[in-house]
Each structure stands twice: as C-alpha cells, then as structure tokens.
Amino acid sequence: MRARGTSQAGREGRPYGYGMRLRLRTLAGYLVAVVGLIWVFHDVELGPMLSAVSELRWTWVGLAVAIDILTYMTQGFRWRLLLKPIGELPWLDAVRAIYAGLFASEILPMRPGEVLRAFLVSKQLKTPVSTVFPSIMVERLFDGVWLAIAIGVVAMLMPLPAGLLHAGDVLGVLILVAALLFLYEVLRLHDDRGAVPVPAVALPSGRIERFRRHFREIGRRPETFVAFGVSPVLLLGQILAFWLVAIAYAPLHLAFWAAAATLIVIHLGTAIPNAPANVGTYQFFCVVALTLFGVDKTIATGFSVVVFVALTVPLWLLGSLALGQSGATLAGVRAQIRANGSV
C-alpha cells in the first residue's frame, strides 16, 4: 500500500522534485541564451553587418555544408564499428539515427538526442537501450581525447588565451581519468585466457553490470582501434567546414589555425546543456574567441550568425527527415523510454 502523498514522479521511480529541477535547468538555459545574445548584439553596427551578409560567397558555404554532412556520415561509420558487439547496424541507419538525435538536441532543451538515437538503434537491433549507451560514451571519450590533442597542437602553432589553455588543462585531466577508467574496465576482469576469477560480491548486478560488460566487449574488439583512428577526421571536418564559412564571409580574414581555436572555444563553451541549438551561447563564445584574435566585434557578430545558420539549418532539415523516416516522434520516444525504463 502506497504512502499517502506520493507524487506521480515518485511512482515513476524518479526523485521527488525531478520535474521542478528539470524546469529550472531549462529556464536557466534560456536565461543564459538571452543574456548571451544581448551581449553579442549590443554596440554592434547593423548596417555593415547586414551588408557583409548580403555579400556572402555561397559557393564556399555550399562546400562547407557538404563537408559538414560528410563529417556526420563518417561518424555513422565510426558508431557502426563501436556497435559491433551487439549487432550489425547498416551504415545508413547509423547516420539516420545520428541525425535524428542531433535534431532532437537542436530543438529540445537538455539535449535528449543521445537518448533518442540510442532508442532508435535499440529498436532496430532488438536490444535494450542500456546496451547501446556504452558505444555512445566511448564515442564521447574518443572525441574528448582528440579535442584535447587539438588544443595542444593549436597552442604550439599560435598563442592562445590563458583561459582557453586552462580549460584545455582541465579537459585533459578529465579525459585522462575517463580513459584510465575505460582501460581499467577493459583489462581488469579479462586476460588472454578469458575471465579473471573475481568474487561474485565484487560485481554489481543489473544495469551497471551490463554497462561494464559492454564496455569490455567494445574495448577488446579490433574495430575499436579503427574507430579511434577515424575520430580525428570528425574534428578536422568540423574545423574545415567552419573555416570555409569564414572564407565565405568577406570581411573576415581568418587563418585556419585561428578558425580551429575559435571552434575549440565554442566546443568548450557549449559543452554544458543550455538552450536548444546552443542559441546565444554559440554566438557568445564565437564572438569572444574572434575578438581575442583581434577581429572587430561587428564582423565577429555577423559571422557568428552566418556560421550558425549555415551549419545548423541543413542539420535541422536532414534531422527532421531522418526522424520522420524512423517512424518515431519525439513525444512517443519519451513516453516509451519513461514507460519501460530500459535506459
């Protein structure tokens, strides 16, 4: 018999106040976006900015969009490799799930896209969502490793702001800890002969053990090394697409390494979930980075809007198409995940 006063959130197995905390985080994200946009656009000369937008070189923009799409197609190839332990997922289906997830993260707060793409793939492979998440977590680990390396390479080629170097140091420590934990989990319970005897009481049961088992399976497969080697191509593709939009924006003269540093600042600044599509924070960190490299704020603001639209609108279009082809809806996926508690 339930205790009196039990809320619906409690009946669904969530902590009390979960809904309120979620709403507060969402509200905070929107507030940060508004504050960021106010700072970005104050003291900006709209006339020169609009004139620069009207003179955009569309050939370069088209090439940037094409490279951005190829980058996500490469991510689909990488994810397919990491999913090998639980099943064979066609490459195009992996790309479709990635785009559907990106679309969800772009239009909804708190970035639910990773859950969505894991859910779509779990349905196709007929496996619990919890078996898909380790592959996504390994993806994030690989991305973090190469991002930290990129910060180090760029720092050797050009002077970077002290704040960016400090953020890079923090990222490096976090990635090192995550990598050591991953290697420990892969190597701790297995040797060349198979499982190392471990007392049963030392092993957690249920979902945690499933996570650990799938991490071990991913870490022991040769495809994982290929996936790690493919990962820098994704970051390089993002930097190249960003730089090509900078070439298209006539008033901006940005070296490739400066473009790389600017995108790294944006990546670090938007790492924490905020408003949908990172509106506000994307423009804020883009302008902050460019002005540190001596770019006029009006030019930096105009470019921040152009690059955001150029690389986000195609993602929205392809993501909505991918979601529609999956036969799922955002509301339906949320309801099913909540009902079966398979995450």
The closest of 85, 29, 45 to 210, measured between CA atoms, is 85
pLDDT per residue as tens digits for the range 42-90: 888 888 888 888 889 999 999 999 999 999 999 999 999 999 999 999 9
Q: What is the pLDDT of residues 238-247, one digit of tens each?
A: 999 999 999 9
Question: In sequence order, what DSSP letters do the residues of 134-160 get, joined into one string?
Answer: HHHHHHHHHHHHHHHHHHHHHHHHS--
**Can you give the C-alpha Rg of the chain in angstroms?**
22
What is the greatest pairwise CA distance in the chain? 71
Mean pLDDT, the chain, whole residue set: 82
Task: Return d(Cα 40, Cα 281) in angstroms, integer.
Answer: 10
- Residue 338: pLDDT band by 50, 70, 90 thresholds? low
Enter the DSSP assignment of 126: T
Strand, helix or coil at 195?
strand
Please check whether residue 137 is in contact with residue 214, taking contact to mean a CB–CB distance below 8 angstroms.
Answer: no
Q: Give Cα 54 to chain centroid, integer Å.
A: 31
- Cα 248-249-252 angle, rounded to 5 deg: 125
Residue 340 has pLDDT above 80, yes or no: no
Over range 218-238, report the average pLDDT: 93
Q: Average pLDDT for residues 258-264, to the nearest whole number?
A: 92
Nearest residue to 305 (alpha-carbon basis) of 290, 283, 288, 287: 283
Mean pLDDT across 211-231: 89
| Cα distances (angstroms) measured from residue 64 to each of 70, 138, 237, 314 | 10, 27, 9, 11
* The pair of three-digit structure tokens given for residue 69, joined into one six-digit string: 């799409």
CA of 234: how far to CAs of 70, 111, 187, 246, 322, in Å?
A: 9, 20, 28, 19, 20
Q: CB within 8 A of 301, min separation 6: which ones?
A: 40, 41, 44, 49, 283, 287
The whole-angstrom separation of Cα 209 and Cα 241 is 40
What's residue 59's pLDDT? 95
Q: Examine the pLDDT at 334 and tell me if it is beyond 80.
A: no
Please tell me whether residue 113 adopts helix, strand or coil conformation: helix
